[in-house]
Amino acid sequence: MSGLVEVTTDEELTELVGGAPKAAVVDKVRSALEDTHRQWLAASPFCLIATADAEGNCDVSPKGDPPGFTLVLDDTTIAIPDRPGNRRADGFRNVLSNPHVGLVFLIPGRGDTLRVNGRARLVRDAPFFDEMVVKGHRPRLALVVEIEQVFFHCAKAFMRSKLWQPETWDPNSLPSRARIVQCVERPNDSIEVLEKHYGPEYAKGLYEA
């Protein structure tokens, strides 16, 4: 694409972002969970998991459950249960060839987030699976993450986007989920069938395989 001026060195990037980070920003990184990190995980109902395969092809997958769904196994290990989904398992397939993961834990209404970087493995069973049962669903799979870095991230992105301010929300500015699915996934299904599928009944199957 013409007109692009690319950044190609670390020195150039550092200059463009305004210099090196302050000591407090660097020093906030921990290699093990502290009480405040544990409190955040206990309150968080949602996280994003970033992965990449051996060739560097990336994926970011959302995970959500009741607050505290991420189980703290010890000061350097957490486990995230898998729930029934579309069976693509893109992020999990990436972990099989490249264990490095990055996670961002959110709390609704809060602009700050908790970031965790580490190495992951897939576990098909363990005694702690019994602690992950929700609405009768015991996970068949969990992502176990060995923490290498954990730290809090500031709220500026959420403040700029006004993400949690309801007066800025306009969900009806885009086609419904059913219409998007008909357009890009299931063009042969009627909109009536899809609207019914993604209607009130959809929530009843969240923990059904």
Give tens-digit pLDDT for 136-148. 999 999 999 999 9
Contacts with 17 (C-beta within 8 Å, 6 or more apart), sequence order: none
What pLDDT is stored for residue 1 in this prediction? 84
CA distance 112 to 105: 9
* Pairwise pLDDT comparison (2 vs 128), residue with the higher score: 128
What pLDDT is stored for residue 203 in this prediction? 93
What pLDDT is stored for residue 209 in this prediction? 72
β-strand pairing of 142-153 with 58-64: unpaired
Give tens-digit pLDDT for 152-205. 999 999 999 999 999 999 999 999 999 999 999 999 999 999 999 999 989 999
CA distance 114 to 207: 26
Q: Which tokens sit at 205? A: 């199957």
CA distance 69 to 149: 20
What pLDDT is stored for residue 130 in this prediction? 98
Q: Which residue has the tokens 């068949």?
A: 140
Average pLDDT over residues 107-130: 98
- CB atoms near residue 173 (< 10 Å): 6
What pLDDT is stored for residue 47 in this prediction? 98
Query: Can you give the pTM of this predicted structure?
Result: 0.95
Give tens-digit pLDDT for 12-71. 999 999 999 999 999 999 999 999 999 999 999 999 999 999 999 999 999 999 999 999
**Cα angle at 103 between 147 and 23, to 5 degrees?**
70
